[in-house]
């Protein structure tokens, strides 16, 4: 385990072996970080955030509770996962909001998904397995497995395989998509869900 002397890791956080936490990162109370994960400089993990194994959270990323990142998730520099659909600093009576006044909602990022630099994910929402969110996107609704989304608000612009490369239609069978790097093949199943074959 490599934790910078300048990182702030709460004693109640559970940090597995082989985790790297760089300068000025903050890991809050009861957060859980899986083995092999790297947390970059100035990144923030909120109270109770759960991070799986072998994730990479780049510099200045802000992961607010109750976010869940499954194994192998990539969070690019300056990504923000929000947690409040109706944010206000004060209540309607003008008094500052207290902890009990917040109704937290989270972002769940499934296995292998990647969120590009500067993207904002507006909770509540789910990013599907091996999906990819383009840099600078503003995600306001769920993202399907293997989807490639971009823009503000983010819309689907294609499909990606587990390598992260955009899938191409097979010349022999247009219902099959192929990864140009690994040659893995994918087909649409029920309800239009893309799956490897």
Q: Tell me, what CATH number does 108's domain have?
A: 2.160.10.10
Domain that holds residue 192: 162-197
- Whether 114 and 197 map to the same domain: the answer is no
Q: Are residues 46 and 106 in the same domain?
A: yes
**Statement to judge: residues 192 and 153 lie in one domain:** no
Is this structure's pTM higher than 0.85?
yes
Whether the CB-CB separation of 29 and 10 falls below 8 Å is answered with yes
C-alpha 100: how far from chain center: 26
pLDDT, tens digit (0-9, with 9 covering 90-100), for 19-34? 999 999 999 999 999 9
Cross-strand bridge partners of residue 47: none
Tokens of 100: 């009990």
Looking at the structure, tell me whether residues 114 and 77 fall in a common domain.
yes
pLDDT digits (tens, 9 = 90+) for 59-110: 999 999 999 999 999 999 999 999 998 889 999 999 999 988 888 999 999 9
Residues 168 and 135 grouped into a single domain: no
Task: Give yes or no for a contact between 82 and 64, defined as CB atoms under 8 angstroms apart.
Answer: yes
| 168 and 108 within one domain | no
Give Cβ neighbours of residue 77 (< 8 Å, ≥ 6 apart): 40, 58, 59, 60, 61, 117, 118
Number of domains observed in the structure of the chain: 2
């Amino acid at each position: 385990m490599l934790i910078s002397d300048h990182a702030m890791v709460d004693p109640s956080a559970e940090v597995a072996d082989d985790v790297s936490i760089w300068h000025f990162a903050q890991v809050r109370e009861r957060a859980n970080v899986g083995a092999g994960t790297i947390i970059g400089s100035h990144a923030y993990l909120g109270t109770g955030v759960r991070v799986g194994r072998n994730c990479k959270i780049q510099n200045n990323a802000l992961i607010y509770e109750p976010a869940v990142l499954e194994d192998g998730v990539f969070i690019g520099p300056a990504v923000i996962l929000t947690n409040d659909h109706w944010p206000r600093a004060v209540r309607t009576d003008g008094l500052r909001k207290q902890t009990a006044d917040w109704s937290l909602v989270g972002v769940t990022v499934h296995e292998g998904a990647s969120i590009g630099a500067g993207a904002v994910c507006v909770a509540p929402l789910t990013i599907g397995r091996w999906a990819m969110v383009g840099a600078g996107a503003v995600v306001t609704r769920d993202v399907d497995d293997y989807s490639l989304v971009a823009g503000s608000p983010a819309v689907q612009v294609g499909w990606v395989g587990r390598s992260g490369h955009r899938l191409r239609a097979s010349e022999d069978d247009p219902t099959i998509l192929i990864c140009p790097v690994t040659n893995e093949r994918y087909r649409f199943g029920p309800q239009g869900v893309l799956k490897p074959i």
